[in-house]
Amino acid sequence: MQSQWSKYSLVNGEFLPAETASLGIKDLSIQRGYGIFDFFKSIDGKFIFIDDHLERFYHSAAQMHLHVKQRPEELKVLLQALMEKNELPNAGTRITLTGGYSADGYNLAEPNMIITQQAFKNPAFNNIGLKLITHPHQRQLAEVKTLDYLMAIMLLPKVKEQGADDVLYHDGGMLRECPRANFFMVNHHNEVITSATGILQGVIRKQVLKLEINGLKIIERDFSLQELKTCKEAFVTSSTKNIMPVSSIDGVTIGHGQAGQVTTELATAFSKLIAG
């Protein structure tokens, strides 16, 4: 979903060309995969759900003992400045915070903060759904948006081989999430259900849980692969995908293999929300 990197990035508050900006090899992201991030889009110069994203960013940082020098309001000023410098009102913006330059390659140091942007156009709702394959995996530190995408990227060749678009994790048969998106199923009682535990608390997921649509009950509770087989629709949510239908899971078609009625209704309501 992501396209070109923007011209400038911010590394520890300094504007640097994204092409040449770097971190020293002692940084704990390179040494130990240690760091957190958050990612959000802007539409026509407005960062979408920015307070939710920043709240999660500070939460992730605190969980991992990483101190953020800036207060949220100061961070917003930096984000705005970078958007203007890059002349990119429509972008995906990522704030990464790493474990810093560790003296011994293990213990935490003062974090390094990198802010990068990529041109990104908010996608229109697409009737054609994603093909998912399931894989047993529970993300560690599930509520923290860590740098850890080892399993997801390791699985990419398998996803491609099977003609799929992405992977859907389950833990001992209990549904969890996709590597970069939350997952929802819709059952025949018009219940819209997303897993409650062992997942990243997605910002779009949170907004969908708040939608109010007549005749729909939108809830969070854990459910199994077995229950998933009884669903009539399924979709994923993320900042890049908004609400995107799921057309098949492990080769089995969901509903009619394209966006169902409930998914379309939710997507319409959500589109209004971010346009508003």
Where on the chain is the footprint of a copy of itself (CB under 8 A)? Answer: 2-3, 5, 9, 11, 18-35, 63-65, 94, 96, 98-99, 104-108, 114, 116, 118, 137, 140-141, 146-154, 156-157
Select 142 or 216, whichever has its Cβ closest to a copy of itself: 142
Q: What DSSP designation does 240 have?
A: T
Select 98 or 248, whichever has its Cβ closest to a copy of itself: 98
Q: Which residues of 253-266 are buried (b: 16+ CB within 10 A; e: fewer)?
A: ebbeebbbebbbbb
Which residues have C-beta within 8 Å of that of residue 11, sequence separation ≥ 6? Answer: 21, 23, 112, 113, 114
Select 80 or 106, whichever has its Cβ closest to a copy of itself: 106
**Distance in Å, CB of 96 to a copy of itself, minimum:** 7
Select 15 or 149, whichever has its Cβ closest to a copy of itself: 149
**Distance in Å, CB of 174 to a copy of itself, minimum:** 15
Closest CA to 97 of 71, 125, 69, 117: 69
How far from the centroid of its chain's Cα atoms is residue 45's Cα? Answer: 20
Q: Report how far residue 178's alpha carbon sits from residue 93's, in angstroms, rounded to the nearest whole number.
A: 20
